[in-house]
Structure formats: structure tokens, C-alpha cells
């Protein structure tokens, strides 16, 4: 069967499943509390996988993800409140109208976040690891400061009145699209370039890879998807507050992908799910939740820095090379299992 | 004019605090190439240690430790009547807090940072984030999430200066003590054998080891020094502004890091100047432009510095380092 | 593959544990969900509120419950996060099958959670959210305290009329929706009454250093300074203001009310004022009984939030008692019909917008931290003009504020 046909069928199947599940969850067959948690998982997946593209696969340590979420969330909210509602109504107020309005809102959010990513990425991606981290953190904070001061979107009071859309279909459609996009990128020439940048930027450049351009592209795509996640958040409770997008949020997503394993899509999905459900299960220990998180992070770093799934190698040949490299300059060859050597700088080198 | 002078004084006072914390950042980075995210939280812990030293652990706390609730542990140095509020008291509390935090710094390094030293810098950075979160949230659980009121360690007076500006005796004390500590640090780093060892380790860890320097011990010492300075900053800040809470270290820590970068990371006098500069700039922006963008100021400065193509921070710079300089594996993804 | 299975097992066990710890519903009790922030910078507010509600519940239970049924409180901490608040209320109305919800203190969290209660047709009562938006979320959402426009107007009026101030400055907390909301109304009302706002400076919740802003304000020589923020920051602001040589009175709102205020600000606060829901020194026997009960149980004088929460709980219990059944809509109807309910924070009647109509107290801080009731202001809270859109409160003309009753 030709490849495109196979992909088309898979896509249609997934859509059908989503519609079916959406039906199941919309009706009150399942406890809305569980549905809510499930949908929050979907949003977390979008955010985690998009962050993994830049942190895990391209090896650029960015901790300003929440800023792009915020840009996407607020821009789409503004659109929905001021244009989307009218649009949906003018198209008959029926389901189709809403779908179009929402789709447009998502596009608006993603594009806005992508532009923000461009603005932040171009100057920042020239910087080295730790400094990139701090700069992205700084940009994230600056975005929040600005949001607190723009009256048109509520400022510190928050932005309320956003149409509330809790749609399983939409949330998981976005999530799946994110996964598909990242997967395809990783398994393409573009992805190979990114991974080569992660492994050895100098060598990559020597091989003719325009590292800055690729880094910025990955960054923009990653931010755009974060923006899409933000759109989902904005319409989830119909209320936004700049406080929700401070760096703590960036850290939460970071912990998800670290837990799951940098450079592993499946890992990010699992990390996102675990770290969305865990707080609910730990509700009795709400006080200690963050303490447990931080301990988890530290212990994880000490014992298994590559996270649950290490990183799923896209290329088998790389594994051998990694094994050779794990005998690092300090002479310690303490890599865990051979088949799971982590790519991306967590293993001893 | 008096407003300007006043704002300048405000800025310098603020800057002195940033400088003290920045020193710790710069030293640890110089030696370990690690941005110790948790440093700002050590500052917070220092402030709280000062609080408990002065106010005591309370009756229950003392009993929990098996001590007499009416003794010093329960009632504290200040409220228990052991010491009267005075400059000496302030110094005593500060020095004790410094000692405690130095120990805490060493413990953190030993437990959290040393095991990941062999891994990439990304891993170490994430661990630092973890420690930071642990201190903040642990602080909320242990100390209580709501702010506490720091007792008056000595009686403050307002001294009027020329043209309407005034300076508080607390500000003066803060400035003098901060300056004193910085001078002491300079002496240690440049005039002692240990200091020379620190400089050697920050230059090249491997070579220092080869020269017979016990790098583990030096690194621990560096952490101790840095943490002690942060604790001093914590107590000094609490003297000026008597409200402390477990999350007070986050933003201050980040700004202090910016100060360290501004001064040239690894550069001690630079960190001092950087701190002052950030403090003054921030105060001026707040006073003359708009206070809402206060937190953005430090980051804006940071972004400007880093983008001005200063050689040390960009990816390209690593090409110029020597081949033996294996300081940046992993996430920096540039081998020389 | 092994790791993958490991992860699946991890998730699976999490889900199971999760499902097990979340058994709700059933039982012959009146279940009330309470969501507050008991951690974070405004932990004090949340803790006080929960204390007040618990006191009310225990009193009711000791007296035999509501129509014979015992009251069961489900208390959750939303960690000052709006999304968390929404999740908690979702859990309340589904999993836990509560009959009613009480919460939150901060308007932002109330706004986030209200649509959920509304959709589930479970009545929600906030004891202290002052943003007008909250009750607009639906007819199941009620509020038992005054709203910002009313409070702000009272503050401005007090400065203009009772203190006779012609010029004023404002120190507003830009990061805090409560503060920015009040600031707008104060500004408008004061100007409308002939005063002039000569300077506005801002800070952010949690700031420690206000020297720059205060220095700037001082240069304009205002006769009063409005500080509509939270007690945390206000205490420090007062201290630093006095250190800078600013001697004029400070005036604020109910966000000042906490035992911590005087601890932090000390004598710097003497001679300053703030509007509040009640005063613990009110000689009304009802108030004194509440204060004594609270003191003996919690070891502290109750602040206004504890008092409003206590009242909110009792209002809810009273409504449930009068209600035809325990269903959401019936309780809602009974709530709406609440008229002249005698609370410790005043007599409460809900108006058309489901906001409480009750008097405001203007407190003067005396030496030693004593609160003296300077004035009682009766406000016609009903029929406030509709504010424009969903966000900034727009320009509501202040409601007619009657002259203070001695």
C-alpha cells in the first residue's frame, strides 16, 4: 500500500476514535472529575512533547516554555472573546461555526507564540547552555510582567469571559498533532540535523549544518506548539491569570520530560500523564506535593538522569557511538544499560 | 536633587545585598561551572536561621529537640533576654546564621551536587533546580508558608543628610558589613593558600587535581563560603526589611545571578560592582519610570549583556578554549 | 521494552491508588465543599476563613445539625492556583457530591471555579471575593460581602468627606486583582468628590523594598495615601513610609485585616484607616460571643475573614434549613431569599445580583494595634450599574453612600 494512503487511513482511524471517545466523555457516562483530569493530561502532553523538541532533541536547554504558553493562551483568548464569538454566531451558532472559530483561535495562538519564539530565539540561541537557560527564564518572566500590565486582557485581575470549551476531541487532536509533528521532524533530515546539533554543535556546523537556522526553526516550532497548549488552557476554564505562567510552570513541564526521558516522545507522554495524575492522587498530601516533586527530581538526577525511557534512539548507529563516548574524560564509564544509553548529555561522558 | 540622592542611597543599599549573593554565585560557577539555582534559597534559609536564633524555636520546638523550652533554644537570643538589641547582637546573629548556612551549603554539595558531577552540566543544572524547589517548598512546610516578622536586632535611627535625603542607620550598617565581608572574601581568595587552590580549581579542575589539590575539599569550602555570604545577605536584608517568607529567595537569587554575569562570571570584584549596578538601576527605574517593570529590569540587563556578543557566553567562544579544557561537555554540545 | 512496561505499571498503579482514595458521596449528611488557599502568600486569609467555617459547622452540629442532619465539611487547599481551584470544585460537585460549596477568598480563584458550580447547579457562596465579576458567572453564585466598587467608594468618600483631604496619592499592587480593582474605584470616586490624585505608584505583591516609590510619592506632598493592598505589604509600606518621613495617614481596604498587620507595621500604622467587614471590639453581644468562642478555640482574635467565613457558613446552613430539599436548585432558591440574616459582620440580605447588602465599617488603628470603629457606613449595594465587559471594571459610578451613622 502506498505510504500516503496508509497514513491517510491511520489518520482517519485516529479521528474516528477521537470522535467516538469525545462522545463517550461528553455525555455524563464518566465522572466529569475523571474527564477533567484526562483532558488536563492531554494539555500536559502537548506542552511536554513540544518542550522535548527543543530540550531533548535539539539539546537546547530552554526553561521559558510557560511564556510561550501564555502568549498563545492570551492571544487566542483575546481573539475568541472579541472575534471568535461573533464568528461562531454569524456562522449559524451551530457546531460547525464553533469548530471554525476554535480552529482559528488555535491558529492565532500558535502563530502568536511562534512569533514570540522567533523573537526570543534569534538572539538567545547563540548562547551556551546555562546562559540560554537563564535567558529563556528571563524572557518568560518578562512576558509575565508585561501581561500583568496590559489592561485590555485584564492585567493582574486576570482575563475572564473566555468561552469555555472542554472538548476531548479538540484537546487530544491538538495533542496528537503535536506528537505527530515532533515524531515526523525527529525522523526526518531536519531532525537528524537537530540531533547532530545536540551531539556536537561544532562538528555539525563543520558538516555544513546551519546550526543557528535549525535551532531557531526548532525553537519556533516548539513555541508554536506550546502556544497551542496555551490555547487549550485558556478555553478550559474560561479564565486566565498571569500568575499561572510563572517559571514554576516551566519547571513543572521540564520535570515531566525529564522524568520521561529527554529525547523520548513516548517518555514525555508518560511523564506528562504521571505528573498530571500524581497531584490528584496525592491530594491528601497537598502540602508535601512540591516537596515530593523536588526530591523526586534530585533523586532522579542522581540515580537515573535519563529518566524513565532514556531516549529512544532514532538511529541505531548512534548507540554504538554513544557507548564509546560514555567513557568520558574523567575515565568513569558508568553508563546504565547499553541499549538505553541516553543521548542528550545526561549520561556520563 | 534630594530625591535623586535618596534613590541613589536606596539603590546602593539594595545593590549591596545583590552583591553579597552574587559573590556566592560567581565563586561556585567559577569552580564548578554550575549555576547554583539553590543559592537564592540559601539566602532565604539564612534569614530564617537568623529569625530562629533571635526568636527561638518556641516552646514546642525546644521540647521536640529535648531541650528546656525556657532556655535559649526555646526563647532565642533576643526575646529570651540573653542579648539586648544592639549592633553586636546583630553581628552575633549574623555570624551564627552564616555558620549554619555554610554547613548547609556543604551538605547540599555533598548530597546533591557531587553525585552528579560526573554527569553533564545539564544534569547538574536540573539538580540545582531540584534543590532550589526543595528548599522553597520544604521551607513552606517547615517554617510555614506565611511571612514572618523579623525582630529588631538593633534600634534604627534616621540620619538626615544634605538636601532632604535621609539615610537609615540600618542601611549604613548593611553597607559597612557587606563591604567588610567582600573585603574579607578578597583576602581569602587572593592572599591565602586555600584561595590559591580555589583559583586553581576554577581554572582547570583536572590540572588542579594533578597538582595534588584535594578538589573535593576545595569545592566544599567554596560552597561553604558562598553560602555563608548568602546567609549574611539574608540577615542583613531582614534587618532592613523585617518581613521574611520561604519564597523570598527566588527573584532575589535570579537578580543576583544577573549581577554575577554582569560583572563577569568568576570575577569577584566584578560581582560586587554588578550587584551595585543592578540595585541602583532597578531603584532608578522604579523611582523614575515605572515600578511595574521592576523585575524585568534585571533580566533586560542580562539579555543586553548576553546579546552584546561578549565573548564568554556565546557558543562560538568555546572554540577558542584550549583542547584540554573539558569544562563543557554535554548540553553545551561544543567540543573544542 | 522493559522500561515501557515499567512505566505502564507505574501509571496503572497510580490510577488505581487515585481511584481508591477518591470515594465520595453517600451518607446521610449535609456535605459542604470548602476550597481555600491555606498555603502561599495569603495563607492567613485561607486559614482564617477555614477556621471560621469550621467553628460554625461545629456549633451547628453540636446543636443537632440542620434539620437533624449533621454537617460534613470537605476542606481542600487550592494553593492559590486558579486551575487548581477549578479542579477542586469539579471534584466537589462530581466525585464528592456536595450539596453546596463555600469559597474562595481571592476573586481570581472564585471566578475560575464559579462556572463549574454553576454548570453543576450547585450553589456556591464566597465569603470575601470582592470583584463584581464573581456573581456574574451565574445565578447559583452568591457573595456574602461587599464588592470592590462599594468598598472603594467608601474609602474615597471617607478621605474626601470625613478627613477633608483634597490631594491624595495611591500605592497600588499591580500584581493583585483586588488591589487594582479598588484603585480604579478610589481614583474615580475621589476625583468625583473634588479631590485630586497627585501621584500613583505601584508595587507587586511580595515586594520588600518600597523605598523608591515612597520617595517619589513624598515629593508630591499628598494629604493621604491610599494603600489598597494586602496586610503583608501594607505593614512594610507603612514602616518604610514613616522611615522616610511621610507622616500622613494611610487608608486601605479589608485586605489589611490580619493580626500580622500590626506585627509587621507596628506603630507606623497608628492613625491609619481601613474599611472592614467588622470589628472584633464591637460591643454587640453576638460579635463578642463569636470572638470569645474563636479565641478559646484557636487562640487568636478572629480577623474579618474568619468573621465573614463564619457568617457565610451560617448563611448557608440557614438556607439549607429553609430549603425544600437538599437539591442544588432548592438550596439556591432558599439562599436567594435570605433576608436580614443576623451575622457578626452585619445584617445580610442578598440583592438581585446575589451580592450581600450590608454596612461597611471604617476602622482606625490606634496605638498598640487596637482597632477603633471610626465610622459605620451604610451602603446601598443594590442596583450597581452594569460594568462594561468581562475584565476591567470599567467605570461604575459610585453608589450613593449615606452619611456615616454615629
* CATH number of the domain bearing residue A145: 1.10.3470
Q: If you average pLDDT over residues C104-122, what whole number do you get? A: 91
pLDDT cut 70: percent of chain B above it = 83
| Whole-number Å distance between alpha carbons of C255 and C253 | 5
Label residue A172 exposed, middle or buried (CB < 10 Å: 0-12, 13-18, 19+): buried
Specify the higher pLDDT residue, C157 or C23.
C157
Residues A227, A146 share a domain: yes
Q: Does A30 score more than 90 pLDDT?
A: no
Give the pLDDT band (50/70/90) at residue C108: confident
Q: Does B212 score more than 50 pLDDT?
A: yes
pLDDT, position C197: 92
Q: Are A246 and A66 in contact (CB under 8 A)?
A: yes
CB atoms near residue A296 (< 10 Å): 18
SS3 assignment, position A316:
helix
Going by C-alpha positions, the residue among B53, A239, A253 that lies closest to residue C112 is: A239
C355, β-bridge pairs: C143
| Whole-number Å distance between alpha carbons of C111 and C107 | 6
> Would the CB atoms of B242 and C264 count as touching at under 8 Å?
yes
Neighbours, chain A (3 or more CB pairs < 8 A): B, C
What are A246-298's pLDDT values in tens digits? 888 998 899 899 888 888 898 899 999 998 988 887 776 767 877 888 888 88
B329 lies within 8 A of chain A by CB? yes
In a domain, A292, yes or no: no
Q: Which three cell numbers stand for residue B96?
A: 551564627
Give the pLDDT band (50/70/90) at residue B224: very high
Give the pLDDT band (50/70/90) at residue C187: very high
pLDDT cut 70: percent of chain A above it = 86
**Which residues of chain A are within 8 Å of residue C83 when distances are taken between CB atoms?**
233, 236-237, 244
Interface test with C, best of B147, B240, B294 (most C CBs within 10 A): B147
> Would the CB atoms of B158 and C264 count as touching at under 8 Å?
no
Spatial neighbors of B308 by CB under 8 A, at least 6 apart, are none
Going by C-alpha positions, the residue among C393, C396, C395 that lies closest to residue C179 is: C393
Q: Which of A271, A287, A303 is the last residue in one of the domains? A: A287
Give the pLDDT band (50/70/90) at residue C399: very low
Interface test with B, best of A128, A155, A288, A304 (most B CBs within 10 A): A128
Q: How many CB pairs under 8 A join B and C?
A: 83
pLDDT, position A291: 86
A residues 63-122 lying closer than 8 A (beta carbon) to B: none
Residue written as cell 445539625? C65
3-state class percentages of chain B: helix first, strand second, coil last, to nearest 5: 75, 5, 25
Going by C-alpha positions, the residue among C404, C403, C406, C399 that lies closest to residue C148 is: C399
Q: Does C52 score more than 90 pLDDT?
A: yes
Q: If you average pLDDT over residues B12-18, what whole number do you get? A: 89
Q: Are A196 and A207 in contact (CB under 8 A)?
A: yes
Lowest-pLDDT range, B174-178, C87-91, C108-112? B174-178
Same topology, domains C11-146+283-357 and C148-276+360-377? Answer is yes
Q: Does A344 score more than 70 pLDDT?
A: no
Q: If you average pLDDT over residues C264-289, what whole number do you get? A: 86
- The helix (run of H) or strand (run of E) holding residue B282 is helix B268-284
| Whole-number Å distance between alpha carbons of A205 and A224 | 26
Domain ranges of chain C: 11-146+283-357, 148-276+360-377
Class of domain C148-276+360-377: alpha beta
| Whole-number Å distance between alpha carbons of B177 and B258 | 22
Residues A121, A150 share a domain: yes
Q: Are C7 and A308 in contact (CB under 8 A)?
A: yes
CA distances from B122 to B250, B332, C75, C109 (A): 20, 8, 40, 36
A148 lies within 8 A of chain C by CB? yes
| Whole-number Å distance between alpha carbons of C302 and A259 | 45
| Average pLDDT score over chain C | 82
SS3 assignment, position A239:
strand
From the CA of C234, how many Å to the nearest CA of chain B? 11
From the CA of A346, how many Å to the nearest CA of chain B? 6
ipTM: 0.78
CA distances from A191 to A196, A215, A256 (A): 8, 11, 22
| Whole-number Å distance between alpha carbons of B295 and B282 | 8
Nearest to C208 among B158, B241, B286 (CB): B241
**Which residues of chain A are within 8 Å of residue C14 when distances are taken between CB atoms?**
274, 277-278, 281
| Whole-number Å distance between alpha carbons of C15 and B28 | 42
Q: Does B236 score more than 70 pLDDT?
A: yes
Do β-strands C141-143 and C196-203 pair in parallel, antiparallel, or remain unpaired?
Answer: unpaired
| Whole-number Å distance between alpha carbons of C77 and C96 | 15
B residues 44-103 lying closer than 8 A (beta carbon) to A: none
- Alpha carbons within 13 A on the beta-carbon side of B300: 13
Q: Are C30 and C72 in contact (CB under 8 A)?
A: yes
Q: Are B211 and B198 in contact (CB under 8 A)?
A: no
Range B307-330 burial, b when 16+ CB lie within 10 A, else e: beeeeebbbebbeeeeeeebbbbb
Q: Where are the alpha helices (DSSP H) in chain A?
A: 3-26, 32-52, 65-79, 85-90, 95-124, 129-149, 168-186, 189-199, 201-206, 211-237, 247-260, 265-281, 289-303, 316-326
Residue written as cell 503583608? C232
The CA-based dihedral angle spanning residues A311, A316, A319, A320, taken in that order and rounded to the nearest 10 degrees: 180
| Whole-number Å distance between alpha carbons of A161 and C389 | 8
Spatial neighbors of A272 by CB under 8 A, at least 6 apart, are A41, A44, A45, A47, A48, A49, A256, A260
C232 lies within 8 A of chain B by CB? yes
Nearest to B287 among C43, C212, C243 (CB): C212
C residues 237-266 lying closer than 8 A (beta carbon) to B: 239-240, 243-245, 260, 263-264
pLDDT, position C62: 92
Q: Which of A252, A287, A322 is the last residue in one of the domains? A: A287
Q: Which of A287, A320, A335 is the last residue in one of the domains? A: A287
Residues A22, A40 share a domain: no
> Would the CB atoms of A153 and C111 count as touching at under 8 Å?
no
What are A295-314's pLDDT values in tens digits? 888 888 888 777 777 754 43
Choose which CATH entry (3.30.70.660, 3.30.1490.270, 3.40.190.10, 3.40.50.2300) describes domain C11-146+283-357.
Answer: 3.40.50.2300
Residues A83, A11 share a domain: no
Neighbours, chain C (3 or more CB pairs < 8 A): A, B
In a domain, A304, yes or no: no
What are B29-81's pLDDT values in tens digits? 888 888 888 999 999 999 999 998 888 776 666 667 777 766 666 667 776 66
From the CA of A124, how many Å to the nearest CA of chain C? 28
Going by C-alpha positions, the residue among C370, C403, C351, C285 that lies closest to residue C147 is: C351
From the CA of C6, how many Å to the nearest CA of chain A? 8
| Average pLDDT score over chain B | 80
Q: Are B153 and B90 in contact (CB under 8 A)?
A: yes
What are A90-132's pLDDT values in tens digits? 777 677 778 888 899 999 999 999 999 999 998 888 777 777 8
Q: Does A349 score more than 60 pLDDT?
A: no
Label residue A323 exposed, middle or buried (CB < 10 Å: 0-12, 13-18, 19+): middle
- Which domain range does residue A14 map to? 1-30
A150 lies within 8 A of chain B by CB? no
B326 lies within 8 A of chain C by CB? no
Q: Are B143 and B247 in contact (CB under 8 A)?
A: no
**Which residues of chain C are within 8 Å of residue B14 when distances are taken between CB atoms?**
209
Start-to-end CA distance of chain A, whole Å, equals 44
In a domain, A329, yes or no: no
Q: Domain count for chain A, please give it.
A: 2
pLDDT, position C216: 86
> Would the CB atoms of C7 and A158 count as touching at under 8 Å?
no
| Whole-number Å distance between alpha carbons of A272 and A270 | 5
A153 lies within 8 A of chain C by CB? yes
Q: Does B220 score more than 90 pLDDT?
A: yes
Q: Which three cell numbers stand for residue A292?
A: 515530593
pLDDT, position C225: 94
Q: Which three cell numbers stand for residue B335?
A: 567540543
Residue B87 CA, chain-centre distance (Å), reads 22
Nearest to C211 among B10, B146, B295 (CB): B10
Residues A95, A11 share a domain: no
Lowest-pLDDT range, A328-342, B135-149, C228-242, C312-326? A328-342
Specify the higher pLDDT residue, C211 or C102.
C102
Lowest-pLDDT range, A142-146, A214-218, A331-335? A331-335
Give the pLDDT band (50/70/90) at residue C333: very high
C221 lies within 8 A of chain B by CB? no
> Would the CB atoms of C209 and B145 count as touching at under 8 Å?
no
Q: If you average pLDDT over residues B270-282, what whole number do you get? A: 89
A280 lies within 8 A of chain B by CB? no
B1 lies within 8 A of chain C by CB? no
**Which residues of chain B are within 8 Å of residue C239 when distances are taken between CB atoms?**
242
Domain ranges of chain B: 2-332
Interface test with C, best of A28, A147, A157, A235 (most C CBs within 10 A): A157
Choose which CATH entry (2.40.30, 2.60.40, 1.10.3470, 1.20.120) describes domain B2-332.
Answer: 1.10.3470
Q: Which three cell numbers stand for residue A14?
A: 485516529
From the CA of A83, how many Å to the nearest CA of chain B? 30
Q: Does B335 score more than 70 pLDDT?
A: no
The angle subtended at Cα A87 by Cα A84 and Cα A88, nearest 5°, is 90
**Which residues of chain C are within 8 Å of residue A37 when distances are taken between CB atoms?**
87
Most confident range, picked from B286-295, B305-314, C349-358: C349-358
Q: Are A138 and A251 in contact (CB under 8 A)?
A: no
**Which residues of chain A are within 8 Å of residue C174 when distances are taken between CB atoms?**
148-149, 155-156
pLDDT, position C122: 93
From the CA of A334, how many Å to the nearest CA of chain C? 19
Q: How many CB pairs under 8 A join A and C?
A: 131
pLDDT, position A200: 82
pLDDT, position A130: 74
B residues 144-173 lying closer than 8 A (beta carbon) to A: none
What are C18-30's pLDDT values in tens digits? 555 555 555 688 9
Residues A142, A71 share a domain: yes
| Whole-number Å distance between alpha carbons of C207 and C201 | 13
Nearest to C39 among B145, B166, B295 (CB): B145
Q: Are A195 and A322 in contact (CB under 8 A)?
A: no
Q: Are C102 and C124 in contact (CB under 8 A)?
A: yes
| Average pLDDT score over chain A | 81
Cis peptide before C169 (omega within 30 of 0): no
Amino acid at each position: 500500500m502506498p505510504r500516503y494512503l496508509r497514513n491517510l487511513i491511520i489518520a482517519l482511524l485516529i479521528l474516528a476514535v477521537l470522535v467516538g471517545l469525545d462522545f463517550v466523555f461528553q455525555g455524563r457516562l464518566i465522572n466529569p472529575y475523571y474527564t477533567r483530569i484526562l483532558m488536563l493530561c492531554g494539555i500536559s502532553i502537548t506542552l511536554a512533547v513540544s518542550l522535548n523538541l527543543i530540550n531533548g532533541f535539539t539539546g537546547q536547554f530552554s526553561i521559558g516554555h510557560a511564556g510561550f504558553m501564555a502568549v498563545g493562551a492570551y492571544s487566542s483568548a483575546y481573539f475568541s472573546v472579541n472575534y471568535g464569538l461573533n464568528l461562531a454566531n454569524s456562522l449559524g451558532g451551530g457546531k460547525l461555526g464553533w469548530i471554525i472559530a476554535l480552529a482559528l483561535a488555535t491558529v492565532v495562538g500558535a502563530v502568536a507564540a511562534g512569533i514570540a519564539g522567533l523573537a526570543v530565539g534569534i538572539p538567545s540561541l547563540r548562547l551556551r547552555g546555562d546562559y540560554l537557560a537563564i535567558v529563556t527564564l528571563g524572557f518568560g518572566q518578562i512576558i509575565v510582567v508585561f501581561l500583568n500590565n496590559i489592561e485590555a486582557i485584564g492585567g493582574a485581575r486576570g482575563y475572564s469571559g473566555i468561552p469555555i470549551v472542554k472538548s476531548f476531541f479538540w484537546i487530544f487532536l491538538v495533542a496528537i498533532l503535536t506528537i505527530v509533528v515532533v515524531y515526523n521532524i525527529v525522523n526526518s533530515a531536519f531532525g537528524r540535523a537537530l540531533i547532530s546539533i545536540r551531539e556536537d554543535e561544532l562538528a555539525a556546523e563543520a558538516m555544513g549544518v546551519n546550526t543557528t537556522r535549525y535551532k531557531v526553526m526548532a525553537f519556533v516550532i516548539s513555541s508554536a506548539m506550546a502556544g497551542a497548549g496555551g490555547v487549550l488552557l485558556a478555553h478550559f476554564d474560561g479564565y486566565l491569570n498571569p500568575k499561572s505562567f510563572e517559571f514554576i510552570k516551566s519547571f513543572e513541564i521540564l520535570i515531566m520530560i525529564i522524568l520521561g526521558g529527554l529525547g523520548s516522545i513516548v517518555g514525555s507522554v508518560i511523564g506528562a500523564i504521571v505528573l498530571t495524575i500524581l497531584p490528584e492522587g496525592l491530594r491528601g498530601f497537598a502540602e508535601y506535593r512540591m516537596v515530593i516533586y523536588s526530591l523526586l527530581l534530585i533523586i532522579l538526577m542522581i540515580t537515573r538522569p535519563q529518566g524513565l525511557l532514556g531516549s529512544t534512539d532514532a538511529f541505531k548507529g548512534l548507540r554504538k557511538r554513544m557507548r564509546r563516548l560514555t567513557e568520558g574524560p574523567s575515565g568513569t564509564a558508568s553508563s546504565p544499560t547499553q541499549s538505553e544509553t541516553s543521548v542528550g548529555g545526561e549520561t556520563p561522558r | 536633587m534630594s530625591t535623586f540622592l535618596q534613590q541613589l542611597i536606596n539603590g546602593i543599599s539594595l545593590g549591596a545585598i545583590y552583591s553579597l549573593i552574587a559573590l556566592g554565585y560567581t565563586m561556585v560557577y567559577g569552580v564548578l561551572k554550575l549555576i547554583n539555582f539553590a543559592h537564592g534559597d540559601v539566602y532565604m534559609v539564612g534569614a530564617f536561621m537568623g529569625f530562629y536564633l533571635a526568636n527561638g524555636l518556641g516552646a514546642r520546638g525546644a521540647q521536640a529537640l529535648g531541650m528546656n523550652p525556657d532556655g535559649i533554644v526555646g526563647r532565642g537570643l533576643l526575646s529570651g533576654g540573653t542579648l539586648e538589641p544592639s549592633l553586636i547582637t546583630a553581628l552575633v546573629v549574623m555570624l551564627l546564621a552564616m555558620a549554619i548556612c555554610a554547613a548547609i551549603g556543604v551538605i547540599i554539595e555533598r548530597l546533591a551536587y557531587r553525585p552528579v558531577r560526573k554527569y553533564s552540566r545539564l544534569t547538574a543544572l536540573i539538580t540545582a533546580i531540584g534543590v532550589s524547589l526543595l528548599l522553597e517548598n520544604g521551607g513552606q512546610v517547615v517554617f510555614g508558608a506565611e511571612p514572618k516578622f523579623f525582630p529588631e536586632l538593633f534600634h534604627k535611627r534616621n540620619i538626615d543628610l544634605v538636601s532632604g535625603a535621609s539615610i537609615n542607620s540600618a542601611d549604613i550598617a548593611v553597607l559597612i558589613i557587606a563591604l567588610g565581608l567582600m573585603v574579607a572574601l578578597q583576602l581569602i581568595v587572593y592572599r591565602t593558600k586555600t584561595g590559591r587552590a580555589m583559583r586553581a580549581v576554577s581554572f582547570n579542575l583536572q590540572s588542579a587535581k594533578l597538582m595534588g589539590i584535594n578538589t573535593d575539599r576545595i569545592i566544599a569550602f567554596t560552597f561553604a563560603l558562598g553560602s555563608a555570604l548568602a546567609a549574611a545577605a539574608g540577615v542583613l536584608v531582614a534587618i532592613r526589611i523585617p518581613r521574611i517568607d520561604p519564597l523570598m529567595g527566588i527573584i532575589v537569587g535570579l537578580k543576583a545571578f544577573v549581577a554575577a554575569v554582569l560583572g563577569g562570571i568568576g570575577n569577584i570584584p566584578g560581582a560586587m560592582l554588578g550587584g551595585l549596578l543592578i540595585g541602583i538601576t532597578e531603584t532608578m527605574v522604579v523611582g523614575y519610570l515605572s515600578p511595574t517593570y521592576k523585575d524585568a529590569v534585571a533580566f533586560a540587563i542580562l539579555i543586553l549583556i548576553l546579546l552584546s556578543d561578549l565573548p564568554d557566553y556565546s557558543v562560538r567562544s568555546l572554540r577558542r578554549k584550549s583542547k584540554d579544557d573539558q569544562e563543557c561537555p554535554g548540553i553545551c554540545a561544543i567540543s573544542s | 521494552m522493559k522500561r515501557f512496561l515499567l512505566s505502564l505499571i507505574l501509571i496503572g498503579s497510580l490510577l488505581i491508588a487515585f481511584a481508591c482514595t477518591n470515594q465520595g458521596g453517600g451518607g446521610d449528611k449535609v456535605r459542604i465543599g470548602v476550597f481555600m488557599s491555606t498555603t502561599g502568600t495569603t495563607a492567613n486569609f485561607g486559614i482564617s476563613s477555614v477556621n471560621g467555617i469550621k467553628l460554625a459547622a461545629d456549633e451547628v452540629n453540636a446543636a443537632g445539625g440542620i434539620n437533624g442532619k449533621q454537617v460534613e465539611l470537605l476542606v481542600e487547599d487550592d494553593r492559590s492556583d486558579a486551575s487548581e481551584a477549578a479542579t477542586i470544585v469539579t471534584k466537589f460537585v462530581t466525585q464528592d457530591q456536595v450539596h453546596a460549596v463555600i469559597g474562595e477568598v481571592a476573586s481570581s480563584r472564585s471566578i475560575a471555579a464559579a462556572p463549574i458550580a454553576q454548570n453543576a447547579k450547585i450553589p456556591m457562596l464566597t465569603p470575601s471575593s470582592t470583584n463584581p465579576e464573581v456573581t456574574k458567572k451565574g445565578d447559583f453564585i452568591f457573595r456574602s460581602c461587599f464588592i470592590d466598587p462599594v468598598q472603594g467608594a467608601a474609602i474615597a468618600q471617607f478621605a474626601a468627606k470625613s478627613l477633608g483631604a483634597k490631594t491624595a496619592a495611591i500605592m497600588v499592587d499591580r500584581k493583585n486583582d483586588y488591589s487594582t480593582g479598588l484603585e480604579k474605584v478610589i481614583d474615580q470616586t475621589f476625583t468625583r468628590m473634588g479631590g485630586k490624585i497627585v501621584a500613583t505608584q505601584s508595587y507587586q505583591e511580595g515586594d520588600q523594598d518600597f523605598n523608591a516609590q515612597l520617595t517619589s510619592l513624598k515629593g508630591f506632598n499628598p494629604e493621604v495615601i491610599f494603600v489598597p493592598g494586602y496586610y503583608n505589604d501594607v505593614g512594610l509600606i507603612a514602616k518604610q513610609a514613616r522611615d522616610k518621613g511621610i507622616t500622613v495617614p494611610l487608608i486601605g481596604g479589608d485586605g489589611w485585616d490580619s493580626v500580622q498587620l500590626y506585627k509587621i507595621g507596628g506603630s507606623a500604622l497608628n492613625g491609619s484607616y481601613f474599611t472592614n467587614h467588622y470589628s472584633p471590639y464591637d460591643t454587640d453581644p453576638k460579635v463578642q460571643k463569636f470572638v470569645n468562642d474563636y479565641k478559646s478555640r484557636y487562640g487568636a482574635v478572629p480577623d474579618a475573614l474568619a468573621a465573614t467565613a463564619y457568617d457565610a457558613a451560617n448563611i448557608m446552613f440557614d438556607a439549607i434549613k429553609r430549603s425544600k430539599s437538599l437539591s442544588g436548585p432548592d438550596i439556591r432558591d432558599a439562599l436567594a431569599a435570605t433576608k436580614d440574616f443576623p451575622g457578626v459582620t452585619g445584617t445580610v440580605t442578598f440583592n438581585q445580583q446575589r451580592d450581600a447588602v450590608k454596612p461597611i465599617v471604617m476602622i482606625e488603628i490606634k496605638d498598640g494595634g487596637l482597632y477603633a470603629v471610626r465610622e459605620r457606613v451604610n451602603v446601598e449595594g443594590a442596583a450597581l450599574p452594569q460594568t462594561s465587559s468581562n475584565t476591567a471594571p470599567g467605570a461604575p459610578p459610585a453608589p450613593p453612600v449615606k452619611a456615616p451613622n454615629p
